């Protein structure tokens, strides 16, 4: 049995393991990524960027960091922070896709499918839990903006 036949035969088994996607998740998943120059530069390489504060925002929300007074400069900084964080996530996703492609090329299809399904189920559960914690809050501060970014 070839790789593609094995993939098709295992898809139905794995599809039944994945819960249905909540509509709010679908809304976030279809949101456009930033188109700024900063986002595009950061999505290709972090060499010229200061990503030292990203560790604060890569953790799961809700966030309770001290809030700056939202001046025009702070709003601009927050927008740039979102662009850099989303580009960082894109780089991580690309690295994961490259690793999955290597596993597929090596014939490790079953292990790859198991890993993808397990990761997807875990991410859906975490996303749903976190979204329920932060949805409905009226905050427009940096903590909320960055929580929405995490959901994206």
Q: What is the pLDDT of residues 65-118, one digit of tens each?
A: 898 898 999 999 999 999 999 998 888 889 999 999 998 999 989 888 998 899
Which has more pLDDT, 6 or 85?
85
pLDDT of the residue at 141: 87
| Distance from C-alpha of 96 to C-alpha of 102, rounded to nearest angstrom | 10
pLDDT at 105: 93
pTM of the model: 0.76
3-state secondary structure of 2: coil
As a whole number of angstroms, the distance between CA 69 and CA 140 comes to 12
Residue 44 tokens read as: 């290709």
Burial 40-59 (b: 16+ CB within 10 A, else e): ebbbeeeeeeeeeeeeebee
Helix (H, G, I), strand (E, B) or coil at 143: helix
CA–CA separation, 54 and 36 (whole Å) = 18
pLDDT at position 100 is 92
The residue extents of the domains of the chain are 74-152
Would you place residue 132 in the very low, low, confident or very high pLDDT band (cuts 50, 70, 90)?
Answer: confident
Q: Both tokens of residue 136?
A: 């409905």
What pLDDT is stored for residue 6 in this prediction?
47
Query: Among 28, 43, 150, 46, which residue's Cα sits nearest to residue 94?
Result: 43
How far is 73 from 64, CA to CA, in rounded Å?
A: 21
Q: Are 90 and 33 in contact (CB under 8 A)?
A: yes
pLDDT band at 19 (very low <50, low <70, confident <90, very high): confident
Task: Provide the percentage of residues in the chain whose pLDDT is more than 90.
Answer: 20
């Amino acid at each position: 049995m070839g790789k593609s036949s094995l993939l098709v035969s295992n898809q139905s088994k794995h599809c039944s393991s994945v819960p249905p996607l909540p509509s709010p998740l679908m809304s976030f998943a279809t949101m456009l990524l930033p188109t700024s120059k900063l986002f595009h530069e950061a999505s290709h390489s972090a060499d010229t960027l200061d990503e030292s504060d990203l560790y604060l925002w890569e953790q799961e929300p809700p966030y309770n960091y001290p809030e700056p007074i939202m001046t025009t400069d702070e709003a601009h900084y927050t927008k740039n922070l979102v662009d850099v964080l989303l580009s960082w996530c894109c780089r991580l996703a690309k690295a994961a896709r490259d690793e999955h492609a290597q596993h597929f090329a090596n014939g490790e299809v079953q292990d790859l499918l198991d890993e993808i399904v397990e990761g997807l189920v875990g991410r859906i559960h975490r996303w749903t839990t976190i979204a329920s914690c932060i949805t409905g809050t009226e905050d427009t501060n940096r903590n909320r903006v960055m929580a929405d970014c995490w959901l994206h």
